[in-house]
Amino acid sequence: MNETGATWQGSPKTWLADDLASTNDWIIRAEPNLASFSSKQLQRWCAPVHHQLVHGYGVVLIRGLASLSEPAFRELFLAIGRCLGPPDTTYGLLYDVIDSGKCFRSQAIPVSQTREATSMHTDSSRLETHPRWVGLACVQKAMTGGASRVASALAVHQHLEATAPASLQQLGHCFHRDVVTPGVADPLALIAQNSFPVFAQASDGPTLRYMRYWIEKGHERLGKPLSAEEQQAFNLLDAELNAPRFCHRFALEEGNILLLDNHKLAHGREAYEDDPERPRHMIRLWLHENP
């Protein structure tokens, strides 16, 4: 690895964009008959996927499943996920990511249900729900736009530690998050309790939990505006997560499955336009680590 691509305590998850762009180690071609594998065969096939997520770059792109029907693709996606860890069911086993035609700024809906670009983020803004692995399966890509982006939070943390330690210290503070989980009876009380750092230390290095819009919205709803120093730290974090040096951009095609470490990587999606006859359709899966 080069420069800030040096490992974090031996972890290759501290990569730069050029590291991913220059290798196919994180890209796996599916077997033609993968959907007909027995559970034991699929578990063995998934072993390199799991190894790449845990000990490799923390991101895997599976290709070669475009010939499957949507029901078969969904079933296989969930089966692969179960080989990696128990699913989180906060939004059901599988969550369809389709534009609702609504605006997340005026209605309490996830950004994923719109055509707008998402910021670089990690999934789940609720304290109790922190999936380790996030999966995204492409049923139908957008007519234009919608490219995926990933960045190593470890590499960005290391860079900030060397260049902006005061801002990195700000990111270690606890911040409230707005809550958009369905069925919440008292959202303000939950927002008041829904507080945790952007960067926290874990046994395997820093962990990122970041979705800026919901942090700002949570503090606004509680009447606790962010300080100028905190806003500056967020601006710097956003700039680095989006910088070409750290952010790798690629397109998901039909039949692709993207899996990533939701604790060590940030990800995002560019804005897109749909073909009304064939709207963009992704399927999301949240997974926890095996105990």
Q: Give the amino acid at 108.
A: A
Cα separation, 34 vs 229, in Å, equals 51
Q: In 10 A of CB 167, how many CB atoms?
A: 18
Can you tell me whether residue 43 is helix, strand or coil? helix
- Which pLDDT value is given to residue 114? 84
Q: Where are the alpha helices (DSSP H) in the chain?
A: 17-21, 39-55, 70-84, 153-163, 165-170, 187-193, 212-222, 228-242
CA-nearest of 157, 161, 155, 150 to 4 is 155
Number of domains composing the chain = 1
**In 3D, which of 222, 231, 228, 245 has the Cα closest to residue 198?**
231
Q: Which domain holds residue 226?
A: 3-287
CATH number of the domain where residue 23 is located: 3.60.130.10
Residue 99 has a pLDDT of 84
Distances (CA, A) of 131 to 15, 35, 46, 261: 22, 25, 19, 9
From first to last of the 291 residues of the chain, give the pLDDT tens digit.
333 334 455 589 999 999 999 999 999 999 999 999 999 999 999 999 999 999 999 999 999 999 999 999 999 999 999 999 999 999 899 999 998 777 676 666 677 778 888 999 999 999 999 999 999 999 999 999 999 999 999 999 999 999 999 999 999 999 999 987 666 667 899 999 999 999 999 989 999 999 999 999 999 999 999 999 999 999 999 999 999 999 999 999 999 999 999 999 999 999 999 999 999 999 999 999 998
Please check whether residue 258 is in contact with residue 107, taking contact to mean a CB–CB distance below 8 angstroms: no
Q: Phi, psi at residue 88, to the nearest 5°? A: -90, 135
Contact 21, 12 (CB under 8 A): no
Residue 150, token pair as written in the block: 């990933």
289's tokens: 């680590």
Predicted pLDDT of residue 291? 83
Extract the runs of DSSP E, i.e. beta strands, from the chain.
27-29, 59-63, 95-97, 133-140, 144-145, 148-152, 174-176, 195-197, 199-202, 205-208, 247-250, 257-261, 265-269, 272-273, 281-287
For residue 30, what pLDDT is reported? 97
